[in-house]
Structure 1
Amino acid sequence: MQKKVSAVPEPILRGKPDGNWNNMITKTHLIKYFFSLLIALFLTSVTAFGFTPTKQQIEMFKSLSPEQQKALASQYGVDLNDLGLGGSSAQPDLGQSQNQPNTRPTLQDTSMFNRADDQPAGDTDAQSEPTKKKTELRQFGYDLFGDTPDAFTPVADVPPPDSYVLGPGDNLVIQLYGKENSSYNLVVNRDGQIQLPEIGPITLAGLTFSDARQLLMDTVTQQMIGVKASVTMGSLRSIRIFVLGEALQPGSYTVSSLSTMTNALFASGGISKIGSLRNIQLKRQGKLITTLDLYDLLLNGDTSDDARLLPGDVIFIPPIGATVGISGEVKRPAIYELKKENNVIDAIQLAGGFTPTAFPAASRIERIDYKGDRTLVDANLTQSSGKNIKVKDADVIRVYSVLETMEDVVMLEGHVERPGGFAWRQGMRVTDVIRSAEELLPFPDMNIALIEREVQPTREKVVVTFNLGKALSNPTGPDNLELKTRDKIYVFNFEETRTDQLQELVERLKLQANKDLRKQTVIVSGYVRFPGEYPLGANMSARDAVTLAGGLTENAYGLRGEITRVTYSETEEQSIEHINVDLANSAAQNLKEEDELHIKRLPNWLDQEVVTIEGEVKFPGKFKIKRGETLTQVIERAGGLNEWAYPEGAIFSREDLRMLEAERLKELRSKLESDIAAANIEQQTIEQKVAMEDANDLLESLNAVRPLGRMVIDLNSIIAGRGQAIQLKDGDKLVIPRKKQAVTVVGEVQFPTSHIFEANLDAKQYIERSGGTTQKADDNRIYVVKANGRVFLPEPSGWFKAGKYQIEAGDTVVVPLDADRIKPLTLWTSVSQVFYQIALGAAAVASF
């Protein structure tokens, strides 16, 4: 049966565009004509204008045969001597001799013309780039002439066969022994004779080597009493042959006398893509001697038709014959030349036959009919009617493969010991695939499993859920479902999410949805173990959906859930309704397509909140708290402060404050980097440049700071009940240090360090003990950070009033950098203060 199609991808026969040989042959003649025209212009230029031809032009002229050179030179009145071509046109010997055993044959200067449109198999063809992208098949056999022609050069140092015919130029080595011992190396002259001393001329030309050897041995025995002869071949003569037609580089060649047709083909560069591999002709004195079919060599290793060459032989390569492309499930997909192959099965044999995965019953032939239209022909290559279909030129036979999908099989996937396929049979059930719980991996979800099933003939996917534990424990029960061919069973891990495992199935269900068939999926959200989108099983209840999502979490409200459903009226108006569903009822309302089941949290559920008490308490550690519990209460649970506690230096940190502090630091970093970048662009004095280096150092330090989230508290007042009670939150931390005996001085002083606390010293005196301030210090903005984190600024006079801001053990005196020194950096003051505060807090925490 033939089917007419509007467009079938056309395999481009390389070197044979659109199967039209006339176009290619015309192209060849045009190239020849264009080449001759170039030579004519070259010679005209030489004679008329007297200019010196380029090397490329001379080489182009040299590529012609001597007869063509003389004819053109005579026509345009050019002396070949002026071009350096008037001497002997002796050509290099391409043959292998005893003196040159490893010389590769080279092309002769008498190459008739260079085929610009014929290129080696590995080179770019004269096809457009879009055409190449459509190419699927390559012509068979032409890569034989690719990169290793030396492998096909005749070997010169092997003994010639007895059938070798002697001719002028052959060398014979004759060893005489017996009454007289001597050795002669004799060459057959142009008369076909050798001159054997003491005997005279002996004619050998035309004799086989076997006959010539016997003749010489008999002659010596008869004419030289008591002397015998041993005859061997010396160096072989070279012969001149012609390779014409569709060779890559047709011309005349000098080759070894042992050369065969294939040796000559390699010497000429091989066969062009428009040349025939199956009808290579050997002509001798105008008569056809034999034909060579290279397919016999390539497919069968048969060299019986590879005839040995004689002087003057002509190897003629005609244009390629009818071709057929064979693609798909065959062993050697390619484009083949037809010879005696008449039907499809013969052509398939050229391609090596079918592969094991071929489905010959579903084969097709792309063909050009008598109208020039492309058609398809169905071919069942398992039947004689399909095998015997006649093949035509430019046919493309496509053999398709067997289907990737398997029939009569059940697949098992997921949390099992041996996933894979099982042979399906009528009446097969779940327990025939999973025989016991021992075939499952540890911690399987026994409460639910899922079957993906195809609905014939459309193969749409549907889902069925069942209780795996009940199926295994009660094989006769309803959960041990009967399986159908191509079912896939999913078994889940109880401890891991199953949304990834079901993602492909969910996507497939979405793809098959349309206006009449909504997505067969549901969304389970809220307080379930694995929220997500799941396949909607047949008659799936809300409780089934929760089980498929891994079950409820510990804080889930397990009595009721809420279904959000989108519905459409007869006028296709959309509405949304919310339905409360009783989860305790196993027969609760069934879900529908695209429903969302939401599970709420238990009312007044409290997640476990933990705070940490460290340092100088009787029982430091982590404490679980209830809502509204205060810091004082937790300190009491920790046994209260011990005798070494220093409540004035207590550090209280909170997680939400730490996050706010981190955000602030991030903003300050960004703004400070922008200010530094802007200041670097402006012209600066030497002093400003030094200050900018300080700013960069501070920025690096700021990048290394980790936020603490400290909240300043007066622990003594809180414990005594005088201060406001602090209600604790999850993650709060209280650190109570030991009593301190030092005062620390940091910032722009000569030697930042800590000093033993002395009650009679003030801030200025502690600074003097650290060597005083540096030139970069801001003396007017010195401040003190108390042990509990509070900051005291100086009085307008510049220093602290005596008694009001008494320096105590654990305090820190901070001498900031003079921000006015870096006028472009407007954020300098804020950044430096934040840095010192965080750094001091972190140091206090790390000090015990």
Structure 2
Amino acid sequence: MKFSVIQTGIGFLCAATLTLGMVVLPISPASAQAQPSQAQIEQFRRLPRAQQEALARQYGIDLSLLERQGSAERLEDPETIRPRDERDEERRSREARGEREEREKREPKELKPFGYNIFAGQPSTFAPVNNAPVPGNYRIGAGDTILVQLYGQESINHTLVVDREGRIHIPRLGPLTVAGLSYDELKDLVRHQVNTRMIGMQVAVSMGELRSMQIFVLGEAHQPGAYTVSSLTTISQALLASGGVSEIASLRNVQLKRAGETIVEFDLYDLLIRGDASKDRLLQPGDAVFIPSRGPMVKVDGQVVRPALYELKAGETLADALRFAGGHTAGAHLPAVRVQGVRDGQRAVMTLNASAQGAQALRDGDEIYVPRVAEAVDNAVMVSGAATRGGAFEWRQGLRINDILRSPTQDLLPEADLNYGLIVREASETFALKLYQFDVASALRGVQEHNLALQPRDEIIIFSRFQRESDRIRAGFASEDERKEFEMMRELLREQNRQRSERNRVPESELVIYSKNSRYKLLEQLSTRIRTQGQVDGTGRMVRVSGEVRFPGEYPVVENASVGGFIAAAGGLRDSAYLARAEITRTILEDGIANTQYVPFNLYDALLGSATVDVKPRDQINVFRIPEWQNSVDVTLEGEVRFPGTYAVRRGETLRDVIERAGGLTDYAFTRGAVFTREEIREQERQRLQALSRELRQEMASISLTDGSPVNYAELSQLLNDLVGTEPVGRLVVNLEDILTGRSDRDIELRDGDRLVIPGQRNTISIIGEVQMPSTYRYDGSLSVRDYLERSGGLKRRAENRGIFVVRADGSVVPYSQRRGWFSSTSRVDLQPGDTIVVPLNTSYQDNLQLWATSTQILYQMAVAIAAINSI
């Protein structure tokens, strides 16, 4: 008999081999760090006490440490099973995570056989489990350890092992035959013997270590073979100990064989599905658990609790397969269960009612699919748009709008438009759409004309009063999260616009974010549905409303269509709408030729209902503006005026009129340097700058391809960046002194957004451009242009001497040139306070680019205007 002894408390290993009649041989200290196995510890513990002490003295080992170590390890079960997937860890580590995820996305989810993963393990040791609770019907056998505790007159503990004869020997009582008795019968026997033969003593009986036994797991096991297991092991535990079953094993007919006979056939589905373990018998030494190959398999998918592959026994039906799958879900459509399989050598499909045809027999390879019920709700009415509680509402007979929408404050959002609502009704047979318009406020009050009766599957649409999300935010109807989302979306649109080419870039004012409940958003999808249902005769289903309405656009034709209804759909009339006359533009098809017809009508009478105006599909309702109507024009005065600010002026007022309303100018006003800007001119300048940039790029490319001359791309690129990045001023040159003196031919009629900036007194001359030191000097009437240029250090090498010009304080440009001849003298420009001398770049250095001078002149003029405005 061989054994190893290990002492972990002092950190080294001593091992010895005991052979009857031979000397003990120790293992070298080099192997002292090895850990003892459970079998070695158990073997040491079973040695007689004298031999244990002798070995301990021989190797200098504290026996108490070994005893404590053994007892501590006996408290824990050895890990007999570990997950089977651990054996594939090395293979999985070689597979990249990204590749695995990509494959899972490409490949559809594959259903797996039911129950196989429950038993999927891999044995790690063959050591039995010894501390499991012992049931009362456990049969005592040879090798079991019985613990007997006597107490009363004295306390005595006995550890008794059932010998091969099936007996235990209790001191003072003698041998007792216990083999074959149950655990409960054993306790009764020992208690009876003690009570009758040992006066004054009582006894407590418990089980110690249980005997081990060898069994066989055969057939389609994951790891077939012989296993040493506890005497409490059952069929299912044996399957776990062997690592489960293989991929082709049967879970429906696991057989327990004993002495060549089949004791029981265990259907694991009974255990896994119904929790029935009545056939999960205890094993005996030499038993064989046999796992045959699986039988017919069917696939159950769709709206079931547990989609998987299931094994069938002979005679099992569709109802059995659905029961194995855990039954159907709440969304299953049982009248149309699809069963697809092979019949008579070819694919066949059956559509069965699972409730009525559950007894349908199944075959190997059948695929059962339980479909989902339709998403449509037939007994409901939908509410969408600017409603507090959108979604489905139960329909009942006699249901009307105000049965769902009762209060404008509780059932509608504050932004809701109470003048316009739609009911979308879809025919169940043809899906044809019918639309009904109603006044929301009247419907909530119960007015019969607008409180329409509802039908199943109707949709009530409530619109917002705001078309743009920015208007809704300014009105205070947006939450903080909605404001943050709006800012994020606006910045995204700006970034996308910046990335576009100059030709495709749009002004920021056109980057519109529509409110989610606006007419634009809610009617977009509805209009698409309507257009796809065009009439046979070619007529459309939309009407265009244009002119003086709040939201011009196309609106769907409703069953109760009227001019007033379409005006309400367009958000109502503007203040400038002309009520005495409106017009319908109608296209009529006659003999295949389209003719245009104009139908004038009185808008006021049509809105009151006193005049009937027919509106047909594809009509255009034009609402005219009141003649001579002009909305208020805002004009801003800044600088040296007595009452600066923004003034609302009527159409036809001039610059002199608004200055008089502002109290006139102060004594410090520098009228010659006044800067007048207009939005229309600003936009024209922006377009001109973009055109110059495109033309300059084209000319650069043309020169480089044709002339082959070198081009200073650094300076050209800088000029292009300046052109694109410069914000236009929109300055209009005015002679304010003549205007204030009463010259009407110099006066200007004001427009919306006009701005007049009047600086203070200036007595300076500025020099900019290609000079050594651009600067500003005090005005001196005795100095000429050349004198000021010399004071600035003279011209640079690339200065255009003949292109020098003077920008007056009022924005006008006076060229400066030298003429020499027999009968001519040098011309002289009389400088005035506030003038700016501009020295442009010599264009010959840029290979005669004709746009260069024009571009630089525009930039210089803008710089002068901006400097005049910023000096206020």
Give the alignment's TM-score, normalised by structure 2.
0.68
Q: Is the 8 A contact 1:675 1:824 kept in 2?
A: no
Q: Is the 8 A contact 2:221 2:245 kept in 1?
A: yes
In 2, the alpha carbon distance for the partners of 1:421 and 1:398 equals 29
Shift of the 301–722 alpha-carbon distance from structure 1 to 2, 3 Å rule, reads closer
Partner of 1:484: 455
Please report how far the alpha carbon of residue 454 of structure 1 lies from its aligned counterpart in structure 2 after TM superposition.
Answer: 3.8
* CA deviation map 1:156-203 (0-9, x unaligned): 433444655677876777889999999898888999999999999999
**In the alignment, does 2:759 pair up with 1:737?**
yes
Q: Is the 8 A contact 2:534 2:540 kept in 1?
A: yes
Secondary structure of the corresponding residue to residue 544 of structure 1: helix
Q: Is the 8 A contact 1:447 1:467 kept in 2?
A: yes
Partner of 2:79: 103
Q: Is the 8 A contact 2:122 2:242 kept in 1?
A: no
Q: Is the 8 A contact 1:172 1:185 kept in 2?
A: yes
Q: Is the 8 A contact 1:154 1:258 kept in 2?
A: no
Matching residue within 215, 220, 223 for 1:246: 220
**In the alignment, does 2:278 pair up with 1:304?**
yes
Partner of 2:637: 613
In 2, the alpha carbon distance for the partners of 1:259 and 1:319 equals 23
Secondary structure of the corresponding residue to residue 74 of structure 2: coil
Shift of the 472–143 alpha-carbon distance from structure 1 to 2, 3 Å rule, reads same
**Aligned 1:176-325 pairs, distance under 5 A:** 239-325=213-299
Q: Is the 8 A contact 2:126 2:228 kept in 1?
A: no
Shift of the 495–298 alpha-carbon distance from structure 1 to 2, 3 Å rule, reads same
In 2, the alpha carbon distance for the partners of 1:577 and 1:828 equals 52
Shift of the 349–835 alpha-carbon distance from structure 1 to 2, 3 Å rule, reads same
Partner of 1:761: 783
Q: Is the 8 A contact 2:784 2:830 kept in 1?
A: yes
In 2, the alpha carbon distance for the partners of 1:839 and 1:273 equals 84
Q: Is the 8 A contact 1:95 1:254 kept in 2?
A: no
Partner of 1:450: 422
Please report how far the alpha carbon of residue 634 of structure 1 lies from its aligned counterpart in structure 2 after TM superposition.
Answer: 4.4
Q: Aligned AA for 1:386?
A: Q
**Aligned 1:367-766 pairs, distance under 5 A:** 368-370=342-344, 372-379=346-353, 381=355, 385-400=356-371, 402-416=373-387, 419=390, 421-434=392-405, 441=412, 442=414, 445-455=417-427, 457-468=429-440, 475=447, 477-494=448-465, 497-513=518-534, 515=536, 519-558=540-579, 559-565=581-587, 567=589, 573=592, 575-582=594-601, 583=603, 584-585=605-606, 586=609, 588-624=612-648, 630-668=654-692, 704-720=725-741, 721=743, 724-748=746-770, 751-766=773-788
Please report how far the alpha carbon of residue 364 of structure 1 lies from its aligned counterpart in structure 2 after TM superposition.
Answer: 5.0
Secondary structure of the corresponding residue to residue 144 of structure 1: coil
Partner of 2:809: 787
Q: Is the 8 A contact 1:323 1:338 kept in 2?
A: yes
Partner of 1:75: none
Q: What's the RMSD between the two structures over aligned residues? A: 5.5
Partner of 2:47: none
Shift of the 825–805 alpha-carbon distance from structure 1 to 2, 3 Å rule, reads closer
**In the alignment, does 2:299 pair up with 1:332?**
no
In 2, the alpha carbon distance for the partners of 1:841 and 1:676 equals 29
Partner of 1:81: none
Shift of the 349–159 alpha-carbon distance from structure 1 to 2, 3 Å rule, reads closer
Q: Is the 8 A contact 2:300 2:309 kept in 1?
A: yes
Shift of the 708–329 alpha-carbon distance from structure 1 to 2, 3 Å rule, reads same
Q: Is the 8 A contact 1:524 1:597 kept in 2?
A: yes
In 2, the alpha carbon distance for the partners of 1:291 and 1:357 equals 37
Please report how far the alpha carbon of residue 342 of structure 1 lies from its aligned counterpart in structure 2 after TM superposition.
Answer: 3.9
In 2, the alpha carbon distance for the partners of 1:308 and 1:248 equals 21
Q: Is the 8 A contact 2:83 2:122 kept in 1?
A: no
Please report how far the alpha carbon of residue 316 of structure 1 lies from its aligned counterpart in structure 2 after TM superposition.
Answer: 2.0
* CA deviation map 1:117-169 (0-9, x unaligned): xxxxxxx99xx99996485x543223324579999997543344465567787
* CA deviation map 1:22-61 (0-9, x unaligned): xxxxxxxxxxxxxxxxxxxxxxxxxxxxxxxxxxxxxxxx
Q: Is the 8 A contact 2:765 2:835 kept in 1?
A: yes
Shift of the 544–226 alpha-carbon distance from structure 1 to 2, 3 Å rule, reads closer
Please report how far the alpha carbon of residue 285 of structure 1 lies from its aligned counterpart in structure 2 after TM superposition.
Answer: 3.0
Secondary structure of the corresponding residue to residue 142 of structure 1: coil
Please report how far the alpha carbon of residue 522 of structure 1 lies from its aligned counterpart in structure 2 after TM superposition.
Answer: 3.1
* CA deviation map 1:89-121 (0-9, x unaligned): xx999999939734344799xx9xxxx9xxxxx
Please report how far the alpha carbon of residue 703 of structure 1 lies from its aligned counterpart in structure 2 after TM superposition.
Answer: 5.7
* CA deviation map 1:766-793 (0-9, x unaligned): 4455556667766665543322223444
Q: More deviation in 692-701 or 428-437?
A: 692-701
Q: More deviation in 752-761 or 96-105?
A: 96-105
Shift of the 648–131 alpha-carbon distance from structure 1 to 2, 3 Å rule, reads closer
Shift of the 567–195 alpha-carbon distance from structure 1 to 2, 3 Å rule, reads farther
Shift of the 177–773 alpha-carbon distance from structure 1 to 2, 3 Å rule, reads farther
**In the alignment, does 2:115 pair up with 1:141?**
yes
Q: More deviation in 152-161 or 538-547?
A: 152-161
Q: Is the 8 A contact 2:128 2:229 kept in 1?
A: no
In 1, the alpha carbon distance for the partners of 2:596 and 2:228 equals 96
Secondary structure of the corresponding residue to residue 519 of structure 2: coil
Please report how far the alpha carbon of residue 281 of structure 1 lies from its aligned counterpart in structure 2 after TM superposition.
Answer: 1.4
Structure 2: gaps of 5 or more residues = 1-36, 43-72, 92-98, 468-517
Identity of aligned residues (%): 38
Please report how far the alpha carbon of residue 326 of structure 1 lies from its aligned counterpart in structure 2 after TM superposition.
Answer: 4.0
**Aligned 1:59-208 pairs, distance under 5 A:** 98=74, 101-105=77-81, 133=108, 137-145=111-119, 155-161=129-135
**In the alignment, does 2:325 pair up with 1:351?**
yes
Partner of 1:32: none
